[in-house]
Amino acid sequence: MSASTTLAQASALYAGHFLFTLARYGLFAGVAYFIFWRWRKDRWQSRRVQQKFPDDKHLHTEVKYSLLTCLIFAAVGVGIFVARQAGYTRIYTNLADHSWAYFTFSILATIVAHDAYFYWTHRFMHLPQVFKYVHRVHHLSHNPSPWAAFSFHPLEAVIEAGIVPLMVCLMPMHPLAIAVFMMYMMGMNVLGHLGYEPYPAGFLRTRFGRLHNTSTHHNMHHQYVKGNYGLYFNVWDRLMSTNHAKYEERFEAVTEGKKVQKVAKKAA
């Protein structure tokens, strides 16, 4: 096989990973932005976590950094493919090798592992000496839109992507299970940056609601830059007492259509 053929195959592989990542980002963020920020903007105005809207220049910045993140995520995807070819991962392609119960378990286990991974890497990136070099870019969005879902500094993008290589080396995973996890991750990521609260009033008073994060939760993290570090679940923030002191009050105010009062910066 010639060098030019190998280069062409590598380029095609990278392009495929990039287009898949870009399509996920564009579909989830684009649909959310169109529905909530354009088409049903007036109808959902009472459910905005922050009543004001960011300037267009901030949206452009979010898209610019998100496109760069897509390029980096694609490179990580190619790296996983090469690692699998060399026998360093536990990815399997024959669904019969494991049961459907295990297939489902592998997705759920990855979600739970990612939630813990995200919380602690997020706390790390908020250390003052790390924040200004790695995480500050994401926090340029004080009032985020769905386009902020992938708006990371390149170093943060590498950290964010680390969960998939970690999991495929630790446990058997089918490519379809990885794809399902990535779709779930993208949906929840966009929800966190939606700018509107779709969950009903009283949600936090339910057993499920106490354990699950909301759009208000992550939006407050962007607004106040501290507290509310979790991703999918509200478990680590509760265990580590890092929920914002006014989180539940803010959620109820937004979901009940009340005028949101100014919330103190001090985190729980």
Q: Where are the domains of the chain?
A: 16-198
Question: What are the pLDDT tens digits along the chain (268 aa)?
Answer: 455 556 788 789 999 999 999 999 999 999 999 999 999 999 999 999 999 999 999 999 999 999 999 999 999 999 999 999 999 999 999 999 999 999 999 999 999 999 999 999 999 999 999 999 999 999 999 999 999 999 999 999 999 999 999 999 999 999 999 999 999 999 999 999 999 999 999 999 999 999 999 999 999 999 999 999 999 999 999 999 999 999 999 999 999 987 554 444 443 4
Which pLDDT does position 9 carry in this prediction? 82
* Exposed/middle/buried for residue 205 (C-beta within 10 Å: 0-12, 13-18, 19+): exposed
Which pLDDT does position 109 carry in this prediction? 98
CB-CB contact of 99 with 180 (8 Å) = no
Q: How far is CA 140 from the centre of its chain?
A: 16
H-assigned helices in 126-256: 128-134, 154-161, 163-170, 175-192, 207-211, 215-224, 236-239, 247-255
- Going from the C-alpha of 194 to that of each of 13, 110, 212, the distances in angstroms are 32, 23, 16
Predicted model pTM: 0.92
